[in-house]
Chain A
Amino acid sequence: MILASIFQTVSIQYYLVLATVLFIIGVIGVLTRKNAIILLMCIELMLNAVNLLLVAFSTYFGKSDGQLFVFFIMVVAASEATVGLSILVLIYRNARSVDIGLFNKLKG
């Protein structure tokens, strides 16, 4: 089976670097963008980078624990997106904008 042999040709370090780069893209997105919806999307991107690394190591060591952790990360990501987006809708209703700078009103 050809698919079982990916780590015989591609090293695990390649997936380490790939997941790190994806995670950093998410970090830069969170730091640069001002739109709160894009911010939430960048958080999803970071979670997916971690998922990719978990799957890579799960396949590398031949154990399925890593793939099960990905399920739980997906659960957390789905609930986080739901609650985050409803908070955003609430803020948009009051301020008519999704600029992340509006959140400094929370300082009181």
Chain B
Amino acid sequence: MSIEIIAYILGGLTIGSALMVILSPHPVRSILYLVVTFFLISANYVLMNAQFLAIVNIIVYAGAIMVLFLFVLMMLNLSKENEPKGSIPMKAAAVIAGGSLLTVLVAALRKGTVQETTSIADDQGLVKSLGHELFTTYVIPFEVSSVLFIAAIVGAVLLAKREKQIIE
């Protein structure tokens, strides 16, 4: 019974901080709320017995990607004053569109039945079983993802350099 309450409280907190990401007018506060959201999603992972993924989520998302965002935002020196503003009808249209998408998805998913399972593996979220699966079944996607990383690094360096430096 208590685990149910914990799950509901965590879900509510996750949705609340995700809402604050899109509602807060200050970009830096938005990023900090997104970090909070990622920590709460990690807590959800722990609750669902995916411990290794929870740690990786904190390290990669909250640690690396969000610091990159924060760094770029502070480098660009944006503040609340020169934050671009959207028009009110545009916002209303966006909320209506999102709300109808939510209605359709929830209505479709609520009726769907999921096959009952009884299989519970205690160690499937730990690094041993995940690593074994990653380096046997999924070894080719793993290697291809390293190519993707190289492409991203080269692309980022090429884009961030000034044009003169590239020509020289």
Contact between chains at A62 and B4 (CB < 8 Å): no
CA distance A22 to B37 in the complex (A): 10
Contact between chains at A74 and B159 (CB < 8 Å): no
Contact between chains at A72 and B120 (CB < 8 Å): no
Interface size bracket, A side: 35 or more
What's the minimum C-beta distance from B154 to chain A, rounded to whole angstroms?
A: 10
Contact between chains at B78 and A4 (CB < 8 Å): no
Chain B residues whose CB sits within 8 angstroms of the CB of A33 once the complex forms: 22, 86
Contact between chains at A37 and B73 (CB < 8 Å): yes
A3-B49, A61-B119 known; A38 vs B56 contact (CB < 8 Å):
no
Secondary structure type dominating chain B contacts: helix
Across the interface, name the chain A residue whose C-beta is closest to B78.
Answer: A98
A59-B50, A64-B124, A75-B149 known; A35 vs B84 contact (CB < 8 Å):
yes
Chain A residues whose CB sits within 8 angstroms of the CB of B120 once the complex forms: 4-5, 62
Contact between chains at A44 and B98 (CB < 8 Å): no
Chain A residues whose CB sits within 8 angstroms of the CB of B4 once the complex forms: 9-10
Contact between chains at B76 and A98 (CB < 8 Å): yes
A68-B138, A71-B56, A85-B69 known; A5 vs B3 contact (CB < 8 Å):
yes
What's the minimum C-beta distance from A100 to chain B, rounded to whole angstroms?
A: 7
A6-63 residues at the B interface, CB under 8 angstroms: 6, 9-10, 12-18, 20-22, 24-29, 31-35, 37-38, 40-42, 44-45, 48, 51-52, 55-56, 58-63
